[in-house]
Amino acid sequence: MPSSDDGTVKEPINREPDMSHLVQSFLTPSESQPSKTADDTQVAYDRNHGPIQHIDPLAHKLTIKSEATTISVDLVLSVDDLKTKFRQHTVQCALQCAGNRRHEMRSRVKEVSGIDWGDGAVMNAEWTGPLLRDVLIHAGLSPKTMHEGLHVQMECNATEVQDDEWYGSSVPLDVVMDEEREVVLALEMNDTPLPDRHGGPVRSVIPGIIGARSVKWLDTIVLSSRESQNHYQQHDYKVLPPEATSPEKAEELGLWDKTPAMQDNPINSVVAVPGEDGETLVRRDDGKVRIAGYAIPKGKDGPVVRVQVSIDRGGSWYDATIMDGGDDHTTHPANRGKPRGKFNWVLWEVYVPAEPGEGVDIWSKATDRGGNTMSEVKGTWNLRGVGYNALEGRVGIKID
């Protein structure tokens, strides 16, 4: 990728694929094969708060330390150490920006502040590297340590970002030590070395948790009794209460401090076909229209076990087919016949009987293994437009 595509601190690279392209594959390629139009070559979304970094893997170091009085860990690892000194683990998971679907909140509920994401700020990929749990234990953390109140802070100090001098996040230590969470320090994405765009040579990947916590170009890990103090943990990526009607009001009422940092992704389902409001769906000979999309479970409560679709504003619901049962088009060969991974998205499709008409709204509703489901038709407004998971998918669809 030419360096002109790296963005700057003031104007970082943020982009998403179009919907129909995104749901063509179960695992989202970092980049698709070059094609006629330049726009077409990128598939996995990019979310950056500063310029994309190009780091020499041979020179890169990951420092692990502690500022918690109860824990002493101290270790510096090279990328080669991460690859050769630890068992390599592969996890498949959806990685989603908390601002995904923001355009719908903005246009259907009320104006919000933030990038105007459509529904494509999400990818489903396979990540390989050591488990962060194993690395912390190797660094001296006893697996028996009380985790309560402790946090794993992750940092990228390689560049200044829009609102801070470095990028950082944290998750509770519990999450990292939880064997069911499979938190990895990813060195590979979809079986190839982690591309620079997605955080090479190493990023953290925290399955089930909003993308903002999965730090790209990771260079420092700090165990601490407090959360990361970085702007993006403290003053962004929070579902502010409705009293926060403006950034000034949020500050004045101290709402950033009072509101917890987002962690788990909410359960969600998105209509990708049709991909835009106002599109036309053509009926097949049997009078049915094809509707398709993706769905994401809440946190570690996946996989999504059911998706239902309605074209009459909830009057009747149709069960969608979840397309990971061996469908050549959507299933990674390695997954055929295997149980659905709990952090993956699911791709779904359904054929719904429909009469010709205009102004049809399409709703979709996912339910995961943990029983979490979607209930709000339009969704509740929040200032930053994060965590949007309304039932209403596409509006104003014409049926022909």
Which residues are at the interface with Mo ion (CB under 5 A)? 47, 97, 211-212
By CB under 6 A, the residues from 293 to 322 that bind ligand MTE are none
Instruction: Give the residue at shortest CB distance from Mo ion.
Output: 97
Report the residue number, 54 or 336, with the smaller CB distance to ligand MTE.
54
Q: How far is the CB of 91 from ligand MTE (least distance, A)?
A: 15
349 binds ligand MTE (CB under 6 A): no
Query: Which of 157, 221, 150 is CA-nearest to residue 185?
Result: 221
47 binds ligand MTE (CB under 6 A): yes
Report the residue number, 237 or 348, with the smaller CB distance to Mo ion.
237
Q: How far is the CB of 141 from ligand MTE (least distance, A)?
A: 23
* Selected binder of ligand MTE within 198, 238, 300, 365 (CB under 6 A): 198
Tell me how far apart the alpha carbons of residues 21 and 29 are, in angstroms, rounded to a whole number: 11
Report the residue number, 53 or 308, with the smaller CB distance to ligand MTE.
53
- x/- mask, ligand MTE, residues 217-256, rule CB under 6 A, reads x---------------------------------------
Tell me how far apart the alpha carbons of residues 248 and 245 are, in angstroms, rounded to a whole number: 8
- Full 3-state SS string of the chain: CCHHHCCCCCCCCCECCCHHHHCCCCCCCCECCCCCCHHHHECCCECCCCCCCCCCCCCCEEEEEECCCCCCCEEEEEHHHHHHCCCEEEEEEEEECCCCCHHHHHHHCCCCCCCCCCCCCEEEEEEEEEEHHHHHHHCCCCCCCCCCCCEEEEEECCCCECCECCEEEEEEHHHHHCCCCCCEEECEECCEECCHHHCCCCEEECCCECHHHCCCCCCEEEEECCCCCCHHHHCCCCCCCCCCCCHHHHHHCCHHHHCCCCCECCCEEEEEECCCCCCEECCCCCCEEEEEEEEECCCCCCCEEEEEEECCCCCCCEECEECCCCCCCCCCHHHCCCCCCCCCCEEEEEEEECCCEEEEEEEEEEEECCCCECCCCCCCCCCCCCCCCCCEEEEEEEEC
Report the residue number, 46 or 324, with the smaller CB distance to ligand MTE.
46
86 binds ligand MTE (CB under 6 A): no
* Selected binder of ligand MTE within 66, 214, 269, 331 (CB under 6 A): 214
- Residue 228 contacts which entry, ligand MTE, Mo ion, none (Cβ below 5-8 A, type-dependent): none
Q: How far is the CB of 146 from ligand MTE (least distance, A)?
A: 29
- Residue 349 contacts which entry, ligand MTE, Mo ion, none (Cβ below 5-8 A, type-dependent): none
302 token code pair: 């996946």
Report the residue number, 14 or 78, with the smaller CB distance to Mo ion.
14
216 binds ligand MTE (CB under 6 A): yes
CB 344 within 8 A of CB 312: no
211 binds ligand MTE (CB under 6 A): yes
212 binds ligand MTE (CB under 6 A): yes
352 binds ligand MTE (CB under 6 A): no
By CB under 6 A, the residues from 142 to 161 that bind ligand MTE are 156, 161
Q: How far is the CB of 312 from ligand MTE (least distance, A)?
A: 35
207 binds ligand MTE (CB under 6 A): no
49 binds ligand MTE (CB under 6 A): yes
Q: How far is the CB of 204 from ligand MTE (least distance, A)?
A: 8
* Selected binder of ligand MTE within 26, 167, 345, 348 (CB under 6 A): 167
CB 50 within 8 A of CB 161: yes
Instruction: Give the residue at shortest CB distance from ligand MTE.
Output: 211
CB 265 within 8 A of CB 296: yes
Report the residue number, 217 or 343, with the smaller CB distance to ligand MTE.
217
Positions in the binding site for ligand MTE (CB under 6 A)? 44-50, 97, 156, 161, 167, 198, 211-212, 214-217
